[in-house]
Amino acid sequence: MRESRDALLQRAADEPDLTWRVLGTLNAFRALIAFALLALFFAGGQPRVFGDQHPTLFWVTAAAYLVFAIGAAVAIRRRWLGADIQAIVQSLVDIAAIVALMHASGGISSGLGGLLIVFVGAASLVLPRQFPTILAAVATFAILGQQALAQFGGGTTDANYPAAGILSAVIFAMALATRPLGRRIQASEALARQRGVDLQNLSELNEYIVQHLRESIMVIDDDNRIRLSNASATQLLAASGGVRGLPLRDVFEPLADYIHEWRADGSQSSHPEFTVITSGSSLRITAHLAPLGKGAARSGPILVFLEDASLINERVQQSKLASLGRLSASIAHEIRNPVGAMSHAAQLLGESPVLTEDDKRLTEIIETHSSRVSHIIDNVLQLSRRDSSEPERLSLGPWLQDFAQEFSNTLELQEGELTIAAMDPDLEVRMDRSHLRQVMWNLCDNAVKYASETGGILVELYADRMQGQGRPYVEVRDHGLGVDAATADKMFEPFYTERSGGTGLGLYISRELCELNRATLLYLDRPGGGSIFRIVFADPARWESTTT
């Protein structure tokens, strides 16, 4: 019994919406008719408009009809039974109630029989196959039966069979004409529902594709509000929760400022690119703007492609490393040995007692530049061996203390020239110990050399966690002259240097070693002058998955 009831409820839920709308509208009309007849009966004088022949029968039938309409409204709303069953039951009650009201009001001459045309016609829209004609036949028999009762029951009115026949014929015609119309309406609604389902499926498919694209995309409307942002873009911007509908400035202020300037400045490219470092995750993000709409107007919506610049650089660096690897093998065999021989010969020549001071100065120049070339060769060979890495968990505080002491002793720094800011004693990082030492040594060595140009050395080591993501980082801060924007864009490229005697490989190797350990090396301007080099280590939440 339980299963059959559940089956009926499921069937009722699967009925077309048109059927339930017709039943609901028809029931509202039913309730309105019942209420109006009751109001006319009790508010009217003598003689009454309706119910004058049998008053008690009239108001009892009208009241019961109103109660039935209220109950039918609940049944339709909750869909207790199938639409077909409810339509049949309600139609039979309509016929019985209208015929009884018609009999209480003087028969066919009261005009109430015309209501059967509405009820039978409306029910024919939703009833299947032969039921409309059966319903019309039941109404016909009920009308004729009422006429026979009026004739042989001793009523005060005479039977009017011609009028009853005409009314029955109209009811039959309405039932037969309405059913094809109902089928067409239901077919149209079924087609519309199918198209709606197809569109919904297509929309969900598009949403799924957009959300799972590897590329990060975002759509900005003409008010600079985010209308679409896939999961990749939300994660790249380190945004928490849903960003759809939010102002772009609340999510990514640098990009909002750039788009505002781009909209106002018509001289810029119509498809510009913009690179910025996020404040939350310290990632270098490149944004490509693609205006949408007719004519690609700047004032309209914009499709924004976001890319992690470190991933792009990684692919470029892989190509560079392949070339450097081939070059390093050639250098190792063809240059290193001759350079070593030249340096050794210069040392022996410098020990000769017959050399003048000018000759000794020349031999010193040969030794200095031979050593420089040898250092370049060592760096290039180190690049070719960068694939080996053994990352491990390090407690950053004690490690920095040991490093700072070793570095200060080696460079003979005075107390206070290299300091470590207070940090969380539980801060841990994951990186190859030798790689971290090499990167930190290079950064601190650059900081000391450039800071000395200002007349004083003040280098500070600072460590903390990124807000939102919890990624640990360490910074090397100095109070030097800083770096201009043009140099900042090139300083991590191989063989680029503005210092006399430099190889131009130190920062490049440092970034490569960081990326080998899933870390990122960034340059930031320091407020008030100076430079900040930040190492953002791997996400601690991914350490376990990385090691397994």
Q: How far, in Å, CA of 265 to CA of 318, rounded? A: 37
SS (H, E, C) 505-531: CHHHHHHHHHHHCCCEEEEEECCCCCE
Residue 3 corresponds to which amino acid? E
Q: How far apart, in Å, are the Cα atoms of 66 and each of 29, 38, 70?
A: 11, 9, 6
* pLDDT at residue number 484: 76
Percent residues over pLDDT 90 in the chain: 4
- Chain-centroid distance of CA 356 in Å reads 77
Task: Tell me what the pLDDT averaged over the chain comes to.
Answer: 78
* pLDDT at residue number 331: 64
Residue in the block written with tokens 């390090």: 394
Note the pLDDT tens digit of each residue in 136-152.
888 888 888 888 887 77
Note the pLDDT tens digit of each residue in 370-401.
776 776 666 666 655 555 667 888 899 999 99
Q: How far, in Å, CA of 463 to CA of 275, rounded? A: 26
The CATH code belonging to domain 216-312 is 3.30.450.20
Q: How far, in Å, CA of 41 to CA of 263, rounded? A: 72
Q: Which residue has the higher pLDDT, 119 or 379?
A: 119
What are the boundaries of each domain within the chain? 2-198, 216-312, 335-384, 392-547
Band of residue 5 on the pLDDT scale cut at 50, 70, 90: very low
SS (H, E, C) 238-298: CCCCCCCCCEHHHHCHHHHHHHHHHHHCCCCCCCCEEEEECCCCCCEEEEEEEECCHHHCC
Q: How far, in Å, CA of 232 to CA of 285, rounded? A: 13
* pLDDT at residue number 163: 81
| CATH class of the domain defined by 392-547 | alpha beta
With a cut of 70, say whether residue 285 has pLDDT above it: yes
Q: Which residue has the higher pLDDT, 373 or 330?
A: 373
* pLDDT at residue number 502: 61
Note the pLDDT tens digit of each residue in 434-458.
888 888 988 898 888 876 666 667 8
With a cut of 70, say whether residue 481 has pLDDT above it: yes
Is residue 22 within 8 A of residue 122, CB to CB? The reply is: yes
- Chain-centroid distance of CA 322 in Å reads 38
SS (H, E, C) 322-350: HHHHHHHHHHHHHCHHHHHHHHHHHHHHH
> What is the arrangement of strands in the sheet containing 302-308, beginning at the earlier edge strand?
226-229, 216-220, 302-308, 284-291, 273-277
Contacting residues for 129 by C-beta, under 8 A, at least 6 apart: none
Residue in the block written with tokens 């031999």: 363
For residues 353-376, average pLDDT: 76
* pLDDT at residue number 212: 72
Token pair, residue 532, equals 């900040």
With a cut of 50, say whether residue 367 has pLDDT above it: yes
For residues 24-44, average pLDDT: 85
For residues 283-299, average pLDDT: 74
Band of residue 44 on the pLDDT scale cut at 50, 70, 90: low
With a cut of 70, say whether residue 157 has pLDDT above it: no
